[in-house]
Structures are given as C-alpha cells and as structure tokens.
Amino acid sequence: MRARREFRNRRDIEVAVLDALVDRHDEGMTVFELRAAVDADIDTIEEALSALKDESLIVIEEADTRVLIHADERVVPDPSEAVEEDASLFERLRERFGL
C-alpha cells in the first residue's frame, strides 16, 4: 500500500519510509525493519524520520522493549479509496502533448 497522494510531494527517501510504514500500519516497524525495507543507509533514514516526525506524519510508540514507528492515520489511505498509480514520464508527456 502507498501513502496518500497529498503526502507524496517530498524527498524520495521520505516517501519510501512513509510507504513502508503504511504497508505495515497495524504492526508498526522498528528502525532496523525500516532499514531492511528502504534502500538507504541508517543516517538517511533517521533524517527522513526526523523530518516526518516534525510534520507529525509518523507516530512513535514504545512497546515492551521495542520502539515502533507508525504512519499517522491521515497518511494511510482508506481501503475503499481507488489507488492511483503515479503516471510514468512517458504517460505524462503523452497527456501534456495530447498524443
């Protein structure tokens, strides 16, 4: 599952982190699970998490001895919503020029 469209206008790493968190919204993820799901080093992921936390797009909870990160409810799409795939560059050019 992917984050709602209105939250996708940000750095690629932040979108990748949000998508991973949305995909595992119910369970949440640790930083190490995020590292496995997102193709970036730990420092880059931590920067992305910091930016997302500053904008209240993620929620951090302590569960037993683990720290779990969840996407905020407003980032998670409603299952009944139609999922729009991002158009490829070719499709956008074709639309723009009416081909």
What domains does the chain contain, in order, with CATH numbers?
Answer: 5-97 (1.10.10.10)
Nearest alpha-carbon partner for 25 in 67, 77, 63, 82: 77
Going by pLDDT thresholds of 50, 70 and 90, the confidence category of residue 57 is: very high
pLDDT in the model for residue 95: 72
Q: Is it the case that residue 87 has pLDDT exceeding 80?
A: no
Whether residue 89 is predicted with pLDDT greater than 90 in this model: the reply is: no
Q: What predicted TM-score, i.e. pTM, was given to this entire model?
A: 0.77
When pLDDT is cut at 50, 70 and 90, the band that residue 86 belongs to is low
Average pLDDT over residues 21-37: 93
Q: pLDDT band at 99, cuts 50/70/90?
A: low
The whole-angstrom separation of Cα 6 and Cα 36 is 25
Phi and psi, residue 67, nearest 5°: -105, 120
Nearest-Å Rg of the Cα atoms of the chain is 15
